[in-house]
Structure 1
Amino acid sequence: MITALNHLVDIVEENLTGGSGVTGFDVTDVARTLGTTEYHLRRMFSSLAGMPLSEYVRRRRMSVAAADVVRGEQDLLSIAVRHGYGSTEAFGRAFRAVHGVSPGEVRRDGGPLRTQPQLRFRLSVEGSERMDTRIVDHPAFRLTGHAARVPLIHQGVNPHIQQHLASLPPQEHVRLKGLAETEPAGLLAVSADLDPDRAEGSELTYLHGVAVLATTTPPEDLDVIEVPAGRWAVFRVAGPYPQELQKAWAATATEWFPSNPWRLRPGPEIVAVLERADDFSTATCELWLPIEPS
């Protein structure tokens, strides 16, 4: 995976000028050439780089464009077109979003500039902490409960999810738990329809509910997510909540996937809370991630 990500960075560099679209190249074709999928490639890039692929491309493109602006050998429209923008206005908006100033100000004053260095992924020795994992082949099932669209927040408690849960009466949690029929067990926190880049603030579908058999028809007042048969990696986590869970989520990208012959496949990502303190300060959880052979 490290080799594939470095090839991806090289391809980004080759397509910083003259390209169209967000990246300037077809990520699906690149992923296929590298022997993986776009879904897995984008997820691993964002997890390890700390930013979505599209954001990295934008920062690199504007870093290279800034040098053209400072040199002053071309007019701004020519520079905009060279870097994949159809107008000086669109180029100016993208330039200001990265550097905080307009191209005209940089041409006049030489800066300030916020340069994005070219990334290079390297293998480091990690894994001193054991990851408690099992691989599960699971038949098709349904997730049912109460769903809401919420923004993705990488660190800390998500207040939008908190608000969604607080809107449910206490007896509803009891009713849901009584509907559970299959693994993942108990009450579940489900993230579905995730942006492949996992960009901070991008929207996802959050469902608070349980897993039932594929043949079960849930009550009409509940939302349903159909889950096809497939293989799952199940990570068991215990400790301060949600900090330990978020650390484990990150470690799947930095440690587990690079050292195991699996990759992510599209599907919901599920947290099963098995035990918890009354104030939810600590918990024992299972993180279910949909996988396939790499």
Structure 2
Amino acid sequence: MIAELNRLVALVEDHLTDDLDLASVASPLGTTEYHLRRMFSSLAGMSLSEYVRRRRMTVAAAEVLGGDDLLGIAVRYGYGSTEAFGRAFRSVHGVSPGDIRRRGGPLRTQPQIRFRLTVEGITTVDARITDRPDFRLVGHVARVPLIHEGINPHIQAHIASLPIEEHARLKDLSSTEPAGLLQVSADVDSDYTEGSELTYLHGVAVTDATPVPDDLDTIEVPAGTWAVFRTGGDYPAALQSVWAATATEWFPSNPWRLRPGPSIVTVLDRSDDFSAATCELWLPVERA
């Protein structure tokens, strides 16, 4: 995976002034656009689209300082007007192209990324692979922003809005793995961008034969393979740590890649105040 990501970075450099067709790039690298985007964002700490924008504006700054026509520069980097180019330029450098020409700076440089695999073994990742037939996720859905660290207050508010007896009703409906009450994230931005919206479902997994009340939302999940990661400790810090370790340690070391589908967390055990918990993280995967 590290070699594929470095090849992607090299291709980005070759296509700074035109659109890179990531789907056509992923296939020769032996992976998928979905997995490539998710691994890039997890390891680089920024989405691929954000990295491309920063690199374009870094290189474009030299042309701005060189006195080239601003509209020509804007068009060369994929912007239809100097206004749109100016907004992108300001978002990276904090000043407009005109300010740069008058004062010569300040300029913020995005260096070209290089991925390296460091063998440290900091995090032990306990995982199992399981094949599951198709099933349904049923419960209560909300659209919430993606937050990488700490408790997501939007998810908290969604769960808190449900009557206490509703949790028991949902749990009684559970009829297949993953068992128990589930935290489901679906329709996640492929770049895994902080603040982007996702579909969150608080509910359970059921078989096709399970009758589902009309007042519940449903997510259909096709048959496929899942990697299941178990973690225990401070909640949600331990869970988020293992989530990160799947990208930095597990996927680069194993012949599996992410495939589109919901990610699922099931809480197996928890303290009374939910400050600690034992959880399983279910991720949809396929052989690389």
Same fold flag (TM > 0.5)? yes
Three-state SS of the structure 1 residue aligned to 2:27 is helix
- 1:138 alignment partner AA: R
Three-state SS of the structure 1 residue aligned to 2:183 is strand
Deviation at 1:215, TM superposition (A): 2.4
Quick check: 1:99 aligned with 2:93?
yes
d(CA) in 1 for partners of 2:208, 2:103: 64
CA contact (8 A) 2:123 2:245 kept: no
Identify the residue that residue 283 of structure 2 maps to in structure 1.
289
2:63 to 53, 68, 89: 68
d(CA) in 2 for partners of 1:213, 1:202: 31
Identify the residue that residue 30 of structure 1 maps to in structure 2.
25
CA contact (8 A) 2:140 2:216 kept: yes
d(CA) in 2 for partners of 1:157, 1:235: 20
d(CA) in 2 for partners of 1:196, 1:222: 26
Deviation at 1:271, TM superposition (A): 0.1
1:264 to 247, 258, 269: 258
Deviation at 1:38, TM superposition (A): 0.4
Identify the residue that residue 179 of structure 2 maps to in structure 1.
185
Larger deviation, residues 198-207 vs 82-91: 82-91
- 1:27 alignment partner AA: L
Three-state SS of the structure 1 residue aligned to 2:143 is strand
Identify the residue that residue 268 of structure 2 maps to in structure 1.
274
Q: Deviations over 1:42-65 (max 9, x none)?
A: 000000000000000000000000
Off by >3 Å, runs of 4+ in structure 1: none
Quick check: 1:172 aligned with 2:163?
no
Quick check: 1:4 aligned with 2:10?
no
Q: TM-score, normalised by structure 1?
A: 0.97
Three-state SS of the structure 2 residue aligned to 1:147 is strand
CA contact (8 A) 1:241 1:282 kept: yes
Give 5+ residue unaligned stretches, structure 2: none
Deviation at 1:128, TM superposition (A): 3.8
Identify the residue that residue 157 of structure 2 maps to in structure 1.
163
d(CA) in 1 for partners of 2:96, 2:123: 47
- 2:213 alignment partner AA: P
Q: Deviations over 1:106-136 (max 9, x none)?
A: 0110111111000000111132432111101
Identify the residue that residue 14 of structure 2 maps to in structure 1.
14
d(CA) in 2 for partners of 1:129, 1:4: 23
Larger deviation, residues 233-242 vs 76-85: 76-85
d(CA) in 2 for partners of 1:129, 1:212: 33
Q: TM-score, normalised by structure 2?
A: 0.98
d(CA) in 2 for partners of 1:215, 1:98: 53
CA contact (8 A) 1:126 1:255 kept: no
CA RMSD of aligned residues (A): 0.8
Counting aligned pairs with the same residue, the percent is: 73
